[in-house]
Every structure is written in structure tokens, then in C-alpha cells.
Amino acid sequence: MAFEISSEQEMIRLMARDFAKKELEPMAAEWDRQGIFPTDAIKKMGELGLLGMMVPPALGGSGAGAVAYSLALQEIAYACASSAVTMSVANLSTEPLLKFGNKEQKEKWLLGLAEGALLGAFALTEPGAGSDPGSMTTTAELKKDKYIINGTKVFITHGRYADVINLIARTGQEKGTRGLSAFIIEKDAQGFTIGTKEEKLGLRASNTVELVFEDCEIPAKNMLGNPGEGFKVAMLALDSGRIGIASQSVGIARACLDEAISYTKQRRQFGKSVSSFQAIRFMIADAATKIEAASWLTLAAADRKDRGLKFTKEASMAKLFASETANSSAYMALQVHGGYGYTKHYKVERLYRDARATTIYEGTSEIQRIVIAREVIKE
């Protein structure tokens, strides 16, 4: 097997690392404390081409591909996991337009999203439809040349700051995953409002809101793809999204490992540095090994995407393993900090809270296992 990171991909990784170190790391703790969405930093990420990495240059993107995207996202997550989820969802939101958008839709929205002039969000989840999006009740009813949308979406990442939202809603009478369609909603659509902002355990610098549609009118030409294709649009977008969350998880896990190493080297007990104790060294060895495996699983899924191969199973494996690794690494890092890790004085406390979301959103670990088992048994 030959897999090498190219010099272009390495340059992108270093560019993202440099940006994260200068623009995110110094502010991340404060943004977390105050729950501030870092608008300026996200804008700069757009200018650097980090929000449209899968979009070809002819359509405004950097065309860097999924491997470069994963490497860059790991660096962003290492410094600020909240900014990483923003980057991940922004890139995810280009996928439906890229795959299902017509020429007019691509010119109108994809160019802006890929160049970072517009921020995109993805609205699938509802209060009663989380792991099972096929049970959604938001409707889009065709009336002449308009769709009238009614319903509520929840847990929408950066919903308040998005210019353009990918929405999945029910257009047909069929039940379950059939009868759903995909649309583009612009932020100033009449009848569309932002609802409650969630106060979250972690990722507090990522904005998470409810979107409310009350007789919201949008032009019929805002539909992406054909009527009834909405579930497929969502699943294809989530396949890519899961590479993003896996990458975010690897970045968080690496930050946990580095915090653990640096603290245990300087912390002295029983007359020596605690990093010299075998109990601590084994914890570090286990975390480092899992992180290496998570990173390779993630890059393997990204590489398949770049090569135009199906990557549903690989993205779910990467997301499952990397997110569980982020959590076990955070647990380990906090444990080796002892009581200090449980305070706000050390970065591990934030990493511990941020890691927790990764096994939940974009499909829980249990949903990833369903996807993996189905694909493996099918094979």
C-alpha cells in the first residue's frame, strides 16, 4: 500500500497549524468561557480557503481535497474544537450543492460558500427526529412557484450566523426516508426565524440554535436535486461530514496527549517527575497508539473520497474510532492532571468537555456501528 502525504497537502497542514496557533489558540479559552462565536476568525478561515476545501477551483473552492481537509481540520481542532466544528459543517454544507446543485444554484451559492464569502449550515435534526431523520415532520408544500415550509429544526450548528442553510423537509405523502427533499434557505427568507440558543457542556464557541419555519416561503427553484431525493442528499453530505468529525476528534485527542505529556513531565511526586511512573507511561502509550490508528483510519476514508471511491463504511469507522479515542484521551489527560485537571486552570478541562460531543453529533457511535455492520455484511 502506498500512501504518502503530498508536499501540497503538507503545506496546507502547516498553513492551518500556523493560523490556529496565532489566531485560535490564544483566544480559545476565553471564547469558551463566554460562549463567543469567533466571527472574525471564521471569516479569516474562509479567506484562507478552509471552508470550501472539497470544491474545485472553477467553482470557487481551493480544490485541496479530503486528505488536505482532514489534515487542516486536525490542526484547527488541536487549538479550538469549536472552530473545527464550524469548519467541518461549513465544508459539509458545500456537498449538497456540489453534487445536486444545477448551474444556476452553484453560481448563486456554491461560489460564495467555497470562497468563504457565505457561511453554510445543515438542517436535518428535529426535536423528534435525531438518529432517525426519516421520522421528521417539517413539511414543504408546493404552491404555484413556491414551497411553503413549516416545522422546527434543532441543534443547528452556527445557525444564527449562516447565510445559506441546507434544509431537508417532507414534500411527499410517503412515510420514512422517502418523500423527503432538499432545499436551500437564505437567511432572510420570510417566515424563517432563529429560535433558542443551546447552552452546551462543551464546544461553547460554536453556536447551536433552533430554526423555526412558519409559513416560510421560498422559490420552488431552491430545491436541490429532485423531489424525494432529500434523504440521499443528507446521507451523502453526512458521509463527508463524518470525515470532518473524525478529523476534529483526532485533533482534540492529540491536544489531550500533548497536555498530558507536558504536565506529567513537570509534575513531581514521590521525589520524581510523574512521567517516569510506569502507570502513567502506559496510559500515554495506549493513547498515542489509539490516536495513530484513528488518524490512519481518518486519512484512509479521506483518501477514498479523493479517489472517487465509496467511503460510507470507512467514514463511519473513522468517526466511531476517532471520537471514542478523543474521549478516552481526554479522560486519560484529565486523570493524569489529578485535581488540577478538574479546574478551569488547565486546558484539559475544556478538551474533556469538547470531546464529549464527538461521539454524539453527525451520528452517535451506535449509529456508526449500524452503518458499519450493514456495509460489512453487504460486502
Please identify, using beta-carbon distances, which residue of 213 and 263 lies nearer to ligand CAA.
213
- Per annotation, catalytic residue among 362, 366, 375, 379: 362
Contact predicate 298/70, CB 8 Å: yes
**How buried is 184 (Cβ within 10 angstroms: 0-12 exposed, 13-18 middle, 19+ buried)?**
buried
CB 350 within 8 A of CB 330: no
Neighbours of 24 (CB within 10 A): 26
Instruction: Classify burial at 346, counting beta carbons within 10 Å of its beta carbon; exposed 0-12, middle 13-18, buried 19 or more.
Output: middle
CB of 110 to ligand CAA, least distance (A): 19
Shortest approach of ligand CAA to residue 310 CB, angstroms?
8
Strand 120-123, strand 164-170: pairing: parallel
Give whichever of 251 and 341 is closer to ligand CAA, judged by the CB atom: 251
Distance CA 71, CA 251 (A): 9
Q: How far is CA 240 from CA 10, 110, 150, 168, in A?
A: 21, 16, 28, 17
Nearer to ligand CAA, 208 or 222 (CB): 208
Considering the complex, what minimum distance in angstroms separates the CB of residue 309 from ligand CAA?
A: 13
292 in active site: no
**Cβ closer to ligand CAA: 245 or 260?**
245
Which residues contribute to the site for ligand CAA (CB under 6 A)?
89, 122, 124-125, 131-134, 157, 177, 231-232, 235-236, 238-239, 312, 361-363, 367, 370-371
Dihedral pair phi/psi, residue 177, rounded to 5° = -75, -15
Judged by beta carbon, residue 38 or residue 341, the one nearer ligand CAA is 38
Residue 363 CB, nearest distance to ligand CAA (Å)? Answer: 3
Which residues lie closer than 8 Å to 231 by C-beta, 6 or more apart? 133, 134, 168, 177, 178, 180
Strand pairing class (272-273; 268-269) = antiparallel
Of the pair 125, 273, the CB lying nearest ligand CAA is at 125
Cα-only R_g, the chain? 21
Say if residues 300 and 311 touch (Cβ distance below 8 Å): no
Closest-CA residue to 193 (of 172, 214, 177):
214
- The residue length of the chain stands at 379
Whole-angstrom Cα distance, residue 63 to residue 51? 11
In the block, cell 449500524 appears at 370
Q: Give whole-number Cα distances, 234 to 2, 136, 180, 202, 313, in Å.
A: 32, 13, 10, 25, 16
Least distance CB 129 / ligand CAA (angstroms): 9
CB of residue 85 to ligand CAA, shortest distance in Å = 6
**In the complex, least distance from residue 305 CB atom to ligand CAA, rounded to whole angstroms:** 12
Minimum distance from CB of 273 to ligand CAA (Å)?
A: 39
Q: What count of other Cβ atoms lies within 10 Å of the Cβ of residue 365?
A: 16
What residues are labeled active site?
362
